[in-house]
Structure 1
Amino acid sequence: MGNGYLLNPENWTLLQGVAVFGLCALVIAIAGTRITRIVDQLADRTGIGEAAAGAVLLGATTSLGGSVLSVTAAWNGNADLALSNALGGIAVQTFFLAVADMVYRRANLEHAAASAPNMMQNALLIMLLSLILMTPLLPNVTIWNIHPVTPLLFLVYVYGITLVHRAHHAPMWAPTQTRETREDKPDDISQMPPMVRLVSEFFVLFVVLGFAGYLLEPSASVIAAETGLTHTVVGVMLTAISTSTPELVTSVAAVRRGALTLAVGGIIGGNAFDTLFTAASDIAYRNGSIYHSMTDDILFWLCLTLLMSAVLLMGLIRRERQGPGRIGLESLLITLLYMGGVWLMFSQV
């Protein structure tokens, strides 16, 4: 039995699949955590602000493992895993924001980190999710096996990020300042590593996260095949959570560092970026429109994610200082919605 036999995922046992999955999840968690500090410093050095950095740099990079997994699954014709990983990741990351709120005890996170860029990002997320939800109801027409909504998703995302950047530099709206409000104030640049070192470390971790995401896909498929679980359950509960672990760790780390805008912007920005998993998966999927391959379970998680995002936006606008259990009422509702979705999914297995 040669090395080629062991390297072929089709020959892996359940134990080997779980081992590879666990190792990749650990690598993603460690690399994703380390990249938070780098992104925070890059935000200050470049002057783009924590909200925009959270959306473009932190959100995209910590989501890289999940995006590679979804694209690889779509290329292999596994639409359920590709879509459930992408949309399940958005749901669990929104739940992670509620966890970060539990960590920050001074005030509700929605109150302390309210900003025009973060609300703009959340509105962008709702718009992108709505486009994805609407697409299965549109004619199943493709050009070179790509649905016309796919390039539209990329265009809307780029335009939305441009508006987020403008909202940071020239806001037309600002939250009322209170003792608990934490503004995006840059750290002392003279105490930071050189720009070359920051960029180099950023790209090294970027590659590590991408490779770990690539190996997650075959291990997840092995786990699904060997345990009899559906790819939707594996995608929502295993791959989505494992590839979203950096968002949890980095958000808690950012809250502890006092970078509240980065914590919220990283989650919401990562969620907006994660919608592009679906667009990229449609490009990789060779059996027509991947949107029209959505099952009822995936559509349920898409609707649930939309509802959770709307609740979060209301929390950012309402800005309750203290809620039940010293967390925001919106965080409590998001937690109940996510746990309810998980319960319903397992009750049908």
Structure 2
Amino acid sequence: MTLFDLSQNSIWLNFLLFSLFAVGVWYAGSKLSLYVDLIADRTGIGQAFAGALLLGGATSLPELATTISASASGAAELAGNNLLGGVAMQIAVLAGMDVICLRNRPLTFFSPKSALILQGIFLILMLSLVSMILVSGELITWAGIGLWPVMLSVMYGFGLWSFHRYEGDPRWEPAGELEQPPESSRDLKDVHQAEYQSVSTRGIILWFSLAACGVLFCGYLVARTGEVLAEQTGLGQSLIGATLVALATSLPEVSTTWSAIRFGAYSMAVANILGTNVLEVVLFLPADIAYRDGSIIEAMDPSASFLAALGIVLTSIYLWGILERRDRTILGMGYDSALILLFYLGGMGLYYTLSI
């Protein structure tokens, strides 16, 4: 058995290794939200911005590892579909957390930050561009790097600047009931604050960096295993990338979102997912750099634009829930979360018929 020459292993052993690496991603990711919440409180940078930049960036490391590894080995569809499939899956993660962590109370009711709506609209803009790009193809390439991925990265920098500026000076504030629910989550946050009171901010940043490295290492191994499983199962790069690998590399988002909601950082939990999803789109640039057989946009099947469109639909539903802010549930979750899960499952089923 080897860790890096996984093609020599049996399919069942690779499934076992895939699961073990995924657990490693989960454990390291579960620590990230705690450290970022402490950093946000001590530095005053704001939960939404910290969630989008620090937490979103750190939890995107498995996607980065997957993207570079798959692209460098020529698996362009696995890399691209992992990114776009992860966007839709992570919005579904928010809906799932609504059921698990806040039964009978919609998560969107407790995250009424206008900065989150700005992030969501920017994500829709980025996904719309990707959908157009995948259909139109690459226009200009230089040294094997296309113009479109570079443009998306430049737009991401502008988006981060806008998020930071807007959260410090929001143009409007929500009205209505309390932002935070009267639950024990605030007590749990106080326990965490007391536990790390003696730890310096520099020490917390160090622990955050170590947890991020753990996410990156385990995420790389998840990517390698998923690539081999795509070959061994015969399901193909498109479907494996959009489902199995996207699920495994989304585990940091699942664990950090779960942890953030548990100790009451609701806006950070939502910003983590939205920030990660925006960064997913930007990762087309490192994918293009690592892919040496031409432009990765040209190598992807145009049907991948369906995944981008699905991400737009799910994000729109979630933003609707934040704006409407109705304290109504169905089957223990908000109406918006129920719609998201329904559209996600139906959309992935339809995408399966497109990829076979």
Tell me the TM-score normalised to structure 2 length. Answer: 0.90
The CA deviation at 1:342 is: 2.6
Gaps of at least 5 residues in structure 2 are none
The aligned counterpart of 1:213 is 219
Please point out which of 210, 233, 245 is paired with 1:239: 245
**Aligned match of 1:319:** 325
Shift of 1:323: 3.4
What SS does structure 1 have at the residue aligned with 2:19? helix
Could you tell me how far apart the structure 1 residues matched to 2:333 and 2:125 are? 27
Structure 1 residue 261: Cα displacement: 0.7
1:12-63 CA deviation, whole Å, 9 max, x = no partner? 3323322321221111000000111111101111111111111011111112
Question: Does residue 262 of the first structure (1) align with residue 268 of the second (2)?
Answer: yes
Match of 2:172 in 1: 173
Residue 19 (structure 2) pairs with residue 13 (structure 1): no
Matched residues in 2 for 1:181 and 1:40: separation?
A: 16
Q: Residue 108 of structure 2 aligns to a residue in which SS? A: helix
- Contact persistence 1:122–1:268 (CA under 8 A): yes
CA deviation map 1:71-110 (0-9, x unaligned): 2101111111101111111111000111122221363211
- Equivalent pair of 1:67/1:86 in contact (CA under 8 Å): no
Please show how residues 41-120 of structure 1 align to structure 2 within 5 Å.
Answer: 41-102=38-99, 103-105=101-103, 107-120=105-118
The alignment status of 1:29 with 2:26, answered yes or no, reads yes
Q: 1:138 to 1:201 in 2, by over 3 A?
A: same
Structure 1 position 139, deviation (Å): 4.7
Cα distance in structure 2, aligned partners of 1:291 and 1:13: 33
- Most deviating of 252-261 and 136-145: 136-145
Moved more, 154-163 or 187-196: 187-196
Task: Indicate the RMSD between aligned Cα atoms, in angstroms.
Answer: 2.3
Contact 2:81 2:238 in 1 (8 A): yes
* C-alpha distance in structure 2 between counterparts of 1:230 and 1:6, whole Å: 22
Task: Report the equivalent of 2:157.
Answer: 158
Choose from 312, 328, 334 the match for 2:340. Answer: 334
Moved more, 86-95 or 125-134: 125-134
Quick one: percent identity of the two aligned structures? Answer: 32
Distance 2:66 2:237 in 1: 13
Higher mean displacement: 116-125 or 210-219? 210-219
Distance across 1 between alignment mates of 2:226 and 2:307: 19
1:251 equivalenced with 2:249 (yes/no): no
Any gaps of 5 or more consecutive residues in structure 1?
none
Match of 1:132 in 2: 130
Which of 233, 254, 257 lines up with 1:227 in the alignment? 233
Moved more, 138-147 or 299-308: 138-147
The TM-score with structure 1 as length reference comes to 0.92
Q: Check whether the contact 1:110–1:316 (CA below 8 A) recurs between aligned residues.
A: yes
- Aligned residues of 2:28 and 2:214 also touching (Cα < 8 A): yes
Write the deviation string for residues 100-146 of structure 1: whole angstroms up to 9, x where unpaired. 22221363211210111111111111111122112131554211111
CA distance in 2, matches of 1:194, 1:61: 20
- Please give the per-residue CA displacement for 1:244-284, whole angstroms capped at 9, x wherever unaligned: 11212221221121111111111111111111222221121
